[in-house]
């Protein structure tokens, strides 16, 4: 997959020239990107007139892990990761038939304060939006083969998610 910026996915979950129309236009985005992510963009794009609630989540690179100072991260994705994030989004939309879904995960080098995972869900009601967004984030973390390499201030590094 090219790393020239955010990529929309085709039915196989792979980068394509034409954007893939997800089921019933309820999955607005499911992508990997080497470009900065924006929670504001996610919330804006997922909202529709019938939505009375938009719940957003942003996983942000912090400066520590388990008591060790972290300087930066690097995310590496398996070739199947684009398909996997698309499948998670479609599955969540299927389990919550009135929600709209937006999700993206960064790959490549990230600095402290960068958004690593951004997700947003719109629904007519807040309870469903909260539940669907939480499930979306948890399923991405569990199912999408993306590995995090942490670089610590003392010069050591650690792989997470292998």
Question: What region, left, alpha or beta, does residue 86 occupy, with left being phi > 0 and alpha being psi -120 to 50 degrees?
Answer: alpha
Domain boundary assignment for the chain: 27-153
The pLDDT of residue 45 is above 60: yes
Report pLDDT for 128. Answer: 96
For 108, the enclosing helix (H) or strand (E) is: strand 108-111
Instruction: Provide the token pair at 143.
Output: 């199912």
- Give the span between the Cα atoms of 95 and 85, in whole angstroms: 15
Q: What is the pLDDT of residues 133-150, one digit of tens each?
A: 999 999 999 999 999 999
User: Per-residue pLDDT tens for 71-90?
Assistant: 999 999 999 999 999 999 99
Q: What is the pLDDT of residue 15?
A: 41
- Look at 31 and 10; give whichever has higher pLDDT: 31
Q: How confident is the model at residue 10 (pLDDT cuts 50, 70, 90)?
A: very low
Could you tell me what percent of the chain has a pLDDT over 70? 85
For residues 149 and 158, the answer to whether their CB atoms sit within 8 Å is yes
The Cα angle at residue 104 between residues 98 and 84, in degrees rounded to 5? 80
- Compute the half-sphere exposure of residue 7: CA atoms within 13 Å on the CB side of its CA: 23
pLDDT at 22: 45
9 has which bridge partners?
15
Residue 84 and residue 143 in contact, taking contact as beta carbons nearer than 8 Å: yes
Averaged pLDDT score across all residues of the chain: 88
Q: What is the CATH number of domain 27-153?
A: 3.90.1170.40
């Amino acid at each position: 997959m090219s790393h020239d910026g955010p990529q929309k996915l085709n039915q196989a979950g792979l980068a394509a020239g034409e954007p893939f129309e997800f089921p019933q236009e309820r999955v607005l985005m499911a992508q990997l990107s080497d470009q900065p992510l924006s929670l504001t963009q996610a919330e804006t794009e997922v909202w529709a007139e019938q939505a009375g609630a938009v719940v957003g989540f942003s996983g942000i690179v912090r400066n520590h892990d388990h008591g060790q100072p972290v300087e930066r991260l690097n995310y590496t994705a398996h070739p199947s990761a684009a398909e996997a994030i698309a499948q998670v989004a479609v599955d969540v939309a299927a389990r919550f038939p009135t929600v709209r879904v937006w999700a993206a995960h960064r790959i490549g080098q990230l600095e402290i304060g960068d958004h690593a995972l951004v997700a947003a869900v719109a629904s007519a009601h807040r309870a469903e939006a909260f539940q669907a967004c939480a499930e979306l984030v948890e399923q991405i973390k569990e199912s999408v083969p993306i590995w995090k390499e942490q670089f610590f201030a003392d010069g050591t590094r650690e792989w997470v998610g292998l």
